[in-house]
Amino acid sequence: MSVVLMGVCGCGKTSVGRALADDLGWEFLDADDFHPPANVAKMAAGIALDDEDRWPWLDRLRGELESIEARGAHAVVACSALRQRYRDRLSLGHELRWVFLKGDLTTIEPRMASRTGHFMPASLLKSQFAALEEPATAMVVDIRQSVDEQVAQISAALRSTV
């Protein structure tokens, strides 16, 4: 089993994901690491990706999940997965648990403004919210909580279902 932390840029997927993976003793994957250079360049230039950009990226990530499952291991994945069709593509043949790190523009905008060293500019945040299709079946976590509180909530829910 793997768990995917999803949500818009700046919601804390990587920070919460790393802490959760440490807590569970699972592998951590950041979906950003699976983007081809052309996708990174496009986003760095302030251009939102389209579906044709996303399919190969999601397929690479799904392939890594298959490899982890084949080893009998588990992973925590940080991936925007903003639309249901992206979540469906990642889920093909996998037991994935979805966690939606939910926040609003007022909470996330200052985070994005203070973030350094990331290719995703704050100018794309509104397009992320526009693209977001909130998941119907995911666990919802309020990002206004501390990272430790979010990890405790997610970890407790996962442990109660495994």
**Residue 26: is its pLDDT beyond 90?**
yes
What pLDDT, on the 0 to 100 scale, is given for residue 113? 65
β-pairing verdict for 27-30 and 75-78: parallel
2-161, CATH topology level: Rossmann fold (3.40.50)
- Lookup: tokens for 113: 């403004």
Rounded distance, CA 109 to CA 104, Å?
8
Residue 62: closest CA among 37, 41, 43, 81: 81
Give pLDDT tens digits for 92-149. Answer: 877 899 999 999 988 887 766 665 555 555 566 777 788 899 999 999 999 999 999 9
Tokens representing residue 49 in the block: 């990706």
In angstroms, rounded to a whole number, what is the distance separating the alpha carbons of residues 137 and 118?
30
Looking at residue 48, what is its pLDDT?
Answer: 77
Question: Which amino acid is present at 161?
Answer: T
Does residue 117 or residue 56 have the better pLDDT? 56
Domain ranges of the chain: 2-161
Selected residue with higher pLDDT from 8 and 46: 8
Torsion angles phi and psi, residue 17, rounded to 5: -60, -45
